[in-house]
Amino acid sequence: MELKFPIYFMASAILVLLHPKAGLAQTIAGPPSFSPTPAPAPAPDFVNLTDLFSVAGPFHTFLSYLQSTKVIDTFQNQANDTEEGITIFVPKDSAFSSLKKPSLSNLTEDQLRSLCLFHAMPHYYTLADFKNLTDLSPVSTFGGGQYGLNFTDDKGTIHLSSGLTNTKVSSSVHSTDPVAVYQIDKILLPEAIFGTDILVSDAPAPAPDITPVADSPTDATTGGHSTSSMNTSSSPRTASWSQWSRLLWAVPYGMMMLVM
């Protein structure tokens, strides 16, 4: 390093000597630069959410709900607000196709709107920030007061709970201030809409009216591969264990059906 400095210095000195106009140009160019040349406007960090949800994912189902409820405008408006930013949790299309019960099909327009708003928070959070949110749970979402989410950190994997739905952040789709978009494995079902006594497929014990076999393929794809961008030191084992335990449940369940 000490040797390089004089060489660099000499090299630039020679350059200046060889190009005397370089030194001259500064004095000549000086006065005109006082004229109010507006500094180039900082390129706005505009993230087109519609574009993002069309290209990544697939998140077409979630996007179509956002569009039909016009919540996409609320989110885009917030995404444009570079002060606060936005954090959105997007369920993949497979989360919608595997949702047997409850159905979203007969929710009212207002309920659908609240469900969509429930999937975002009016602030930009990095994955590291979620660790802090675990202490603040329940954290309010765009849905407002009744629509809180609980965060827990399991060895670096962030789990979300709506009370009815337990899911995890399975990958980061976009995370540049002011817009954070994270993929989740399941649709967040708010208790404020669905009550507290609905059986969801992630209940600890298999419910008799849910076919565990139908759940396995989607879990295998979402749980297995999409965690790859996260710290996977512990999750594959738990994911495959839960798949095994589902199979273990499925066998006696299938036999029961045969007997009946």
Contacts to ligand NAG from residues 167-226, by CB under 6 A: none
Burial of 162 from C-beta contacts in 10 A (0-12 / 13-18 / 19+): buried
Does 244 interact with ligand NAG (rule: CB under 6 A)? Answer: no
Does 46 interact with ligand NAG (rule: CB under 6 A)? Answer: yes
State which residue, 151 or 218, has the beta carbon closest to ligand NAG: 151
Closest contact distance (angstroms) between CB of 106 and ligand NAG is 4
d(C-alpha 185, C-alpha 239), whole Å: 12
**β 166-176/157-161 pair status:** antiparallel
Please name the amino acid found at residue 36.
P
State which residue, 128 or 257, has the beta carbon closest to ligand NAG: 128
Does 48 interact with ligand NAG (rule: CB under 6 A)? Answer: yes
Q: Segment contacting ligand NAG (CB under 6 A): 23-31, 159-167, 202-210, 220-228?
A: 159-167
Does 163 interact with ligand NAG (rule: CB under 6 A)? Answer: yes
Contacts to ligand NAG from residues 26-45, by CB under 6 A: 44
State which residue, 148 or 212, has the beta carbon closest to ligand NAG: 148
State which residue, 65 or 246, has the beta carbon closest to ligand NAG: 65
Cβ–Cβ under 8 Å, residues 97 and 58: no
75 contact partners, CB below 8 Å, separation of at least 6? 49, 66, 86, 88, 120, 142
Does 122 interact with ligand NAG (rule: CB under 6 A)? Answer: no
Cβ–Cβ under 8 Å, residues 94 and 62: no
Tell me which of 33, 35, 37, 106 binds ligand NAG, using CB under 6 A: 106
Tell me which of 12, 176, 231, 240 binds ligand NAG, using CB under 6 A: 231
Half-sphere exposure of 147 (CA within 13 A, CB side): 20
**β 120-121/86-91 pair status:** antiparallel
Burial of 95 from C-beta contacts in 10 A (0-12 / 13-18 / 19+): buried
Closest contact distance (angstroms) between CB of 164 and ligand NAG is 8
d(C-alpha 168, C-alpha 161), whole Å: 9
Binding site for ligand NAG (CB under 6 A): 44, 46, 48, 50-51, 73, 76-77, 80, 106, 129, 132, 137-138, 148, 150, 155-156, 161-163, 231, 233
